[in-house]
Amino acid sequence: MAEEENRKQDGCEQEDAYLREKRKNADLAERLAFLEEKNEELQYKLDRIKKNPMWKASAPHR
Predicted pLDDT at 62:
78
pLDDT in tens, 3-53: 666 666 777 899 999 999 999 999 999 999 999 999 999 999 999 999 999
Domain that holds residue 35: 2-61
pLDDT at 20 (0 to 100): 97
Q: What is the pTM of this model?
A: 0.66
| Model pLDDT, residue 52 | 96
Going from the C-alpha of 58 to that of each of 32, 34, 47, 49, the distances in angstroms are 36, 34, 16, 12
Number of domains in the chain: 1
Amino acid 17: pLDDT = 94
